C-alpha cells in the first residue's frame, strides 16, 4: 500500500487531514478548532510522505516528526499520525487500540473542561452557580475542570486589583504576575464555593494559567489542600508556552499534597523526559493532537507510570475526530490513567456529519470503547460537502 495524497480542509474551524492510498483506503486526522490557520503547515509535509506505506506508521513519522515543534506547530504532525493509524487499523480490519497492544478497559472515563457556561458575575456565589450548571449536565461528569486566575476565567480580566500587573486584552497574550492579597483570597473563596457544590462525589480540577508565579502557585496549592482537588493545571507554564522548565515545578510539587499538572503544550516524549524522570509534576496531560500523535501519548503514559505519575490527557478543542483518537488510545493506557478531557463538536453540525459515534456519546462520565476498524468513524460525505470551503471542494476526491 502506498500513500497517494495528503489533503487538508478547514471544516468549521478544525483543520482536517485526509490521507489517500492506492488501495482505496483513506485515513482521517485533525487539529484543534483554534488552529484554522494550520492548513499550509499540514501540506508542507505532503511531499515527505507520498509513496510511503502508511501502515508503517513509525517509518513515515521518522520523515516528519523532527519538523514539528511545541504547540501549535506539532499539531500538523500529530494530525498526520492519527490519519496513518486510521489507515493501519482499516487495512488490518481492527480498531486502532488492537494495534497499540489491545485495550485494558472497555470504557474510558472523561472529564469536563469544555462544556462551559457564561458567568453572571465574579464572586464566589457566581462560581458556585456556574459549577452547578456543569454538575447538572446529562453526561454526569465525575470530574469537572474550571478555569481560575490567569486561564479560562474572568478573574484577571474582570476583577480590578486581582494582581500586580496591567491586563492586556489580546488573544493568547501571556498575562502574568503576582496576585494581590485581595486576588488571592478571592481565588481561594471561589474554589471553596465550587467544591461545596460538587461535594465529595465529583472531583474538581483547576486550570490556572500559565501566568502564576512560583510563590503564588505554592501558596494556593497549600491553601487548597483541604479541598482534595484533582489537580492544579498549567499554573506556572503551560498552554502555548514553548518550554517546560521542570525546575519551576520542583519548587512547588514536593511541598504540597495538591496534585500539580501540566503538559498540553508539549511536543514529543523527549520534552516530557525531565518532567517525568525528576517527578516535577504529579499529573501529565499531553494532547494527542499536539504531542505528536496517538503512539506518542501512549509512550509518555507508560514512562509516567514507571515514575508514579498520573495521566489525564488534554482534549478540549480536539473535535470529534480527536475524540475518536482519544478513545482509542485511552483504552490502552496503564492504570495511571485518570480521564481525558472531553472534546465536543464545534459547530454543533459536526454531529450531523460524523458517522460511527455512540448515542449518547457519554454515559455516567464514561464512553464505551467501540470496535469498528481504525478510528471507527467516518464522514457522511454528502452531508459534509455543504460545509466545505470553495478551495476544499475536492477534499473527498481521490
Q: Each residue of 103-125: pLDDT tens digit? A: 999 999 999 999 999 999 889 99
For cell 521542570, the residue is: 246
Q: For 229-281, give the DSSP string.
A: -SEEESSSS-TT-S---HHHHTTTGGG-SS-EEE-TT--SGGGTHHHHHTT--
Bin 102: left if φ > 0, else alpha if -120 < ψ < 50, else beta.
Answer: left
In 3D, which of 34, 50, 49, 36 has the Cα closest to residue 8? Answer: 36
Predicted confidence band of residue 172 (pLDDT cuts 50, 70, 90): confident
Per cent of the chain over pLDDT 70 is 99
Q: In the predicted model, is pLDDT for residue 160 greater than 90?
A: no
CATH number of 99-375: 3.20.20.120
How far, rounded to the nearest angstrom, does the alpha carbon of residue 254 sit from its chain's CA centroid? 26
Q: What pLDDT is attached to residue 170?
A: 87
Q: What is the pLDDT of residue 151?
A: 84
- Lowest mean pLDDT across 105-119, 131-145, 161-175: 161-175
Residues 370-388 have a mean pLDDT of 98
Question: Above 70 in pLDDT, residue 55?
Answer: yes
Query: In CATH, what class is 3-94+379-392?
Result: alpha beta
- Total residue length of the chain: 398
What is the predicted pLDDT for the residue at 171?
83
The pLDDT mean for the chain works out to 97
Domain regions of the chain by residue span: 3-94+379-392, 99-375
Which of the residue ranges 110-124, 149-163, 269-283, 289-303 would you say has the lowest mean pLDDT? 149-163
Of the chain, the percentage scoring pLDDT greater than 90 comes to 94
For residue 52, the SS3 value is coil
Q: In this predicted structure, what is the pLDDT of residue 137?
A: 98
Indicate whether 381 pLDDT > 80. yes
User: Would you state the cell numbers that stand for residue 35, as one nine-digit string?
Assistant: 488552529
**Packed helices 74-92 and 319-330: angle between N→C axes, nearest 10 degrees:** 60
Q: Tell me what pLDDT residue 122 has.
A: 87
**pLDDT-based confidence at residue 154 (cuts at 50, 70, 90):** confident
Instruction: Give the integer Cα–Cα distance in Å for 75 and 325.
Output: 14
pTM here is 0.97
CA triple 37-41-42, angle to 5 deg: 100
For residue 226, what pLDDT band results from cuts at 50, 70 and 90? very high
**pLDDT above 80 (res 395):** yes
Q: How far is CA 315 from CA 19, 175, 237, 282, 344, in A?
A: 22, 23, 18, 19, 9
Other beta carbons within 10 angstroms of residue 339's beta carbon come to 23
Q: Indicate if the pLDDT at residue 85 is higher than 70.
A: yes
State the first-to-last Cα distance of the chain, in angstroms, to the nearest integer: 15
Backbone angles phi, psi at 284, to 5 degrees: -115, 150
| Confidence check: pLDDT of 152 > 80 | no
Predicted confidence at residue 159, as pLDDT, reads 86
Q: Is 388 helix (H, G, I), strand (E, B) or coil?
A: coil
- In angstroms, rounded to a whole number, what is the distance separating the alpha carbons of residues 92 and 84? 12
Query: What cell does 83 get?
Result: 490519519
The rounded distance, in Å, linking the Cα atoms of 183 and 288 is: 34
pLDDT at residue 132, as a whole number: 98
What is the DSSP secondary-structure string of 278-346? TT--SEE---TTTTT-HHHHHHHHHHHHHTT-EE----TT-HHHHHHHHHHHHTT--TTB--EEPP--S
Amino acid at each position: 500500500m502506498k500513500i497517494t495524497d495528503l489533503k487538508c480542509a478547514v471544516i468549521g474551524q478544525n483543520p482536517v487531514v485526509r490521507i489517500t492510498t492506492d488501495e482505496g483506503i483513506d485515513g482521517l486526522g485533525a487539529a484543534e478548532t483554534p488552529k484554522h490557520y494550520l492548513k499550509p503547515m499540514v501540506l508542507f509535509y505532503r511531499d515527505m510522505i507520498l509513496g510511503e506505506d502508511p501502515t508503517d506508521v513509525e517509518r513515515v513519522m521518522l520523515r516528519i516528526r523532527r519538523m514539528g515543534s511545541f504547540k501549535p506547530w506539532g499539531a500538523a504532525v500529530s494530525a498526520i499520525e492519527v490519519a496513518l493509524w486510521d489507515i493501519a487499523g482499516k487495512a488490518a480490519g481492527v480498531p486502532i487500540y488492537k494495534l497499540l497492544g489491545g485495550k485494558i478497559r472497555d470504557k474510558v472515563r472523561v472529564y469536563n473542561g469544555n462544556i462551559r457556561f457564561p458567568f453572571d458575575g465574579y464572586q464566589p456565589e457566581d462560581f458556585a452557580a456556574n459549577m452547578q450548571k456543569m454538575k447538572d449536565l446529562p453526561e454526569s461528569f465525575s470530574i469537572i475542570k474550571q478555569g481560575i486566575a490567569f486561564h479560562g476565567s474572568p478573574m484577571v480580566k474582570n476583577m480590578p486589583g486581582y494582581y500586580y500587573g496591567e491586563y492586556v486584552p489580546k488573544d493568547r497574550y501571556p498575562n502574568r504576575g503576582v496576585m494581590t492579597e485581595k486576588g488571592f483570597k478571592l481565588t481561594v473563596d471561589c474554589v471553596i464555593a465550587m467544591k461545596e457544590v460538587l461535594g465529595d462525589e465529583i472531583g474538581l480540577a483547576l486550570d490556572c494559567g500559565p501566568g502564576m508565579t512560583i510563590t503564588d502557585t505554592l501558596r494556593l496549592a497549600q491553601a487548597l489542600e483541604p479541598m482534595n482537588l484533582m489537580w492544579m493545571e498549567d499554573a506556572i507554564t503551560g498552554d502555548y508556552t514553548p518550554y517546560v522548565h521542570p525546575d519551576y515545578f520542583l519548587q512547588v510539587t514536593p511541598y504540597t499534597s495538591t496534585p500539580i499538572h501540566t503538559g498540553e503544550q508539549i511536543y514529543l516524549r523527549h520534552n516530557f523526559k525531565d518532567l517525568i524522570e525528576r517527578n516535577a509534576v504529579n499529573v501529565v496531560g499531553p494532547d494527542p493532537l499536539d504531542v505528536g500523535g496517538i503512539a506518542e501519548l501512549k509512550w509518555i503514559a507508560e514512562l509516567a507510570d514507571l515514575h508514579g505519575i498520573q495521566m489525564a490527557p488534554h482534549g478540549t478543542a480536539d473535535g470529534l475526530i480527536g475524540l475518536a483518537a482519544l478513545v482509542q488510545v485511552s483504552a490502552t493506557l496503564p492504570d495511571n490513567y485518570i480521564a481525558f478531557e472531553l472534546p465536543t463538536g464545534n459547530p454543533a453540525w459536526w454531529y450531523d456529519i460524523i458517522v460511527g459515534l455512540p448515542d449518547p456519546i457519554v454515559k455516567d462520565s464514561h464512553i464505551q470503547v467501540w470496535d469498528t476498524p481504525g478510528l471507527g468513524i467516518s464522514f457522511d460525505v454528502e452531508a459534509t460537502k455543504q460545509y466545505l470551503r470553495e478551495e476544499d471542494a475536492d477534499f473527498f476526491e481521490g
